[in-house]
Structure 1
Amino acid sequence: MTEATAVRRAVRSLFDPRGCPDPYPHYAVLRTHAPALRLPDGRILLSRHAECDRVLRNPAFRVEDEQWMDANLPGAGEHPAVHSLMAEMVNCNPPHHERLRRLVGTAFSPRRIAELRPAVTALVDSLLDRLAAGAGAGAAVDFMSGFALPLPITVIGELLGLPEADRAWFAPRVEAVTRAIEQDLTGEALKTADRAVEELWERLGDLVEQRRRDPRPDLVSTLIAAREADGDRLSRRELLANLVLLYSAGYETTSNLLGNGLATLLSRPELLARLRAESGRIGPWVEEMLRHTPPITLASRWAAEDTELAGVPLRRGAEVLLLLGSANRDESRYPDPDRFDPDRPVAANLAFGAGAHYCLGAVLARMEAEIAFPALLARFPDIALAQLPERRQGFGALNGFAELPLLLGTR
């Protein structure tokens, strides 16, 4: 097989609309033979750590904001889902991005996250009780719906101040928006997302009015106060859009981290036994989970000026796709990158991005995982996969399992 044929096959497999169960061999082909590949539609596909990191940190590369959307998808902003997405801070460039991130950032400070630790520990224990109850008579239980999703959903719900009774209502609507993004904001998925956003904004608008009358120590009240202190700082659109973002980002990344990490451990019994013996140093294990099988594998930027990447010239306006899952397995940065190694020397990975748009909730996600894994393994010494799990269908940025069936071996 020629290099060109291998590259074409790798790209075809990675972009298969049905998904790619094992992308890592294809990533390796691209890193070796085409680290900056111009696709037929003109986009540039990056697969090495150095170039991905450079793009994420360089202000000359921008997120696909409202300006980009108007130029490339005129009329898309008339859709409620797109109108909301383009007001989210992750889809804003300077100076709007810094302004929004500053307002929200106080709720995700290391001190605030540390204050949540006792509540998260109690929640983890409660969810483990529910898993055990569902595993009576040796029945299989689904780790994703029984633990990996409700844990971060509850935590971000508490942080935002969403009423407990409403949290289950929010999740499928936020997921509808995510599905539309993964399908390039087209077709029936976009129509479903439009309806979901209209319902989300109505429900969140009611909550904002309640918190305006009766402020509480939650993020909704904090953002309302910031808006009313200076009306130009946070518009109603920005407030509601970023509440949707925070709810979504607050659980999707963490749930995938938990599911991917557990699947890796259960596929390697020696790792499972070792982590049980050294659960006090869970931090490096979580970091290696993030590197080895990241919850998000793809990001995109566009060039705000003429430049080049790995010898490939880019004109202003060119779109760049960053294969974060590949960058995290780059052999030039991580020796023997396909091996899961919790003793690996610390070298920052791109699981949560880098630069100005580094994930605001990274500290929270790590904290939840560092509490969850030791508690889970201590509670269920005979935990095992009930069957080989299947990864999410379709090509998209999110990397995880729809279901992860377990046998808990409860005694």
Structure 2
Amino acid sequence: MGAYLDRIDAAPASERWRLVRGLMYGEPQPFFAELRAERPVLELPDLTIVTRFADCALTLRRHQDFGVDLYRPKQGDYFMAQDDTADHWRDKSIMRAILDFEQVPRMRAHVGDTARDILREAGGAIDAPKRLTRAVPISLVKTFFGFDDADDEQLFDWSYWNQQDAFHNQFFDAIVTPDPQKIVRERERANTELALFTARVMAKRSVAVKLGFGGDDSISRLIHLSFSGGVNFPLKKVLFNAGGLLIGAVETTSHAVNNALAELLKRPDVLDRARAAAASPDAQAFDGFVFEALRFNPAFPYFFRTCHRRTVMSAGTPEARAVEPNATVLAVTHSAMFDEAAFEEPDRFDEARSQADAFTFGQGLHECLGRVIAQAMIPEVVRQCLLLPNLRAEGPVRFEGGVPESFPLRWG
């Protein structure tokens, strides 16, 4: 048996998850390789961890068998906290429609202009999360989603605490979260403020829509749809889903941009090719560098689900194990993206690699709602950084609460 598994088996049961989590973040590739080869279904006292591509894909795609139960206490009736329901299908379809993907080229141009202006004003040095990687998606939210009257700090605050509670404040996060209840209180406070603000925006937009002056931002489109009566989408749903647009846009974008930048900056050979591609007139020729970097350094190394039906993982292999109902499953997609059964030469950085089976934006029913927008926004922010002369990291990415809080960059 491998050295990592020997350490885990020798540890007291109560300490195994702490040890495993440390290895997942501290020594991911050798640790995951050992798990995939020897124990792809790792059973801990309160968690079942799966690491092979087939098992991770099964967990995320079979929403009848593996649900998002742990989202519900955090997100209530929001459609992303539901699985195969009428609200989920209708609301997600509406939200995808009103995002108007035909606007993506305009959005990318806006992101590029905003990032370039911020970097120009920075004068050769910047702390990326504090001044760039959150500011750019906030600008996009204000310009395209209908939050133009909001204060930037408020938008960040409302998004941040919702993301913290949903994704970094589950029961298995208690070993690294000093005050879980504080996060819950902050999320509740943020949601109250966000609801009051969004209600004021909706009132203003509703008058404009009734007078025939409604804009083409996302909130106005939702109000148009609600007033039409053509579908079951009352104003309460407009309020709820408009807030979801903000919450999903800011912190995840910031996290992905910082991780991708950090990965590229530590690979000198890749960095030279990436800089050349960044300078190409075809901006999308650069994007593969960012998504391959996120395969090596993803913002979310795992997704969590609750088992609803007894399911055999790694079926047909000597490592097969059954997962029983009510078990919490971590699909470690960081590991899955290095499984040779799904990715050819996974240890090689290949910017031309197909990302169709990657888990960067999730998979299955709960794939990222704004995937197409994120696929333009994230690489464009990174591209603007790599266009700077002699860009370099002055230190590592510093994480707090599971997200990047500091990443000092310098150039020129």
TM-score range, shorter chain: 0.7 to 0.9
* Matched residue, 2:140: 155
* Matched residue, 2:184: 190
Query: Normalised by the size of structure 2, how large is the TM-score?
Result: 0.83
Q: Does 1:393 align with 2:384?
A: no
* Matched residue, 2:317: none
Contact 2:50 2:56 in 1 (8 A): yes
* Matched residue, 2:291: 287
Structure 1 residue 358 displacement after superposition: 1.4
CA-to-aligned-CA distance 1:172-221 (integer Å, 9 cap, x gap): 13212222231228422212221111111111111111111123211111
The amino acid that maps onto 2:79 is M
The amino acid that maps onto 1:364 is I
The amino acid that maps onto 1:365 is A
Structure 1 residue 232 displacement after superposition: 6.8
| Distance in 2 between residues matched to 1:238 and 1:317, nearest whole Å | 30
| Distance in 2 between residues matched to 1:389 and 1:118, nearest whole Å | 27
| Distance in 2 between residues matched to 1:3 and 1:14, nearest whole Å | 9
Q: Does 1:354 align with 2:343?
A: no
The amino acid that maps onto 2:299 is P
* Matched residue, 2:272: 273
Map 1:243-258 onto structure 2 (within 5 A): 243-258=242-257
| Distance in 2 between residues matched to 1:264 and 1:3, nearest whole Å | 25
**Equivalent in 184, 195, 205 of residue 201 of structure 1:** 195
Structure 1 residue 62 displacement after superposition: 4.1
* Matched residue, 2:83: 93
1:278 partner SS: helix
| Coordinate RMSD, CA, aligned | 2.7
Contact 1:14 1:23 in 2 (8 A): no
Sequence identity of aligned pairs in percent? 25
The amino acid that maps onto 1:393 is E
Unaligned runs of 5+ in 2: 172-179, 209-213, 315-319
| Distance in 1 between residues matched to 2:26 and 2:237, nearest whole Å | 37
| Distance in 2 between residues matched to 1:146 and 1:179, nearest whole Å | 20
* Matched residue, 2:409: 406
1:141 partner SS: strand
Contact 2:156 2:250 in 1 (8 A): no
Structure 1 residue 34 displacement after superposition: 2.0
Structure 1 residue 236 displacement after superposition: 4.6
* Matched residue, 2:94: 103
2:303 partner SS: strand
| Distance in 2 between residues matched to 1:406 and 1:367, nearest whole Å | 22
* Matched residue, 1:12: 18
The amino acid that maps onto 1:408 is W
| Larger CA deviation: 241-250 vs 329-338 | 329-338
* Matched residue, 2:300: 296
The 3 A distance-change label for structure 1 pair 381 and 328 is same
The amino acid that maps onto 2:249 is G
Query: Normalised by the size of structure 1, how large is the TM-score?
Result: 0.83
Structure 1 residue 118 displacement after superposition: 3.0
Q: Does 1:23 align with 2:28?
A: yes
**Equivalent in 104, 107, 110 of residue 119 of structure 1:** 110
Give the count of matched residue pairs. Answer: 381
| Distance in 1 between residues matched to 2:186 and 2:406, nearest whole Å | 23
Map 1:77-92 onto structure 2 (within 5 A): 82=74, 85-92=75-82
* Matched residue, 1:35: 40
The amino acid that maps onto 1:184 is Q
Unaligned runs of 5+ in 1: 70-75, 77-81
| Distance in 2 between residues matched to 1:197 and 1:402, nearest whole Å | 22
Contact 2:362 2:368 in 1 (8 A): yes
Contact 1:89 1:101 in 2 (8 A): yes
The 3 A distance-change label for structure 1 pair 63 and 406 is same
1:401 partner SS: strand
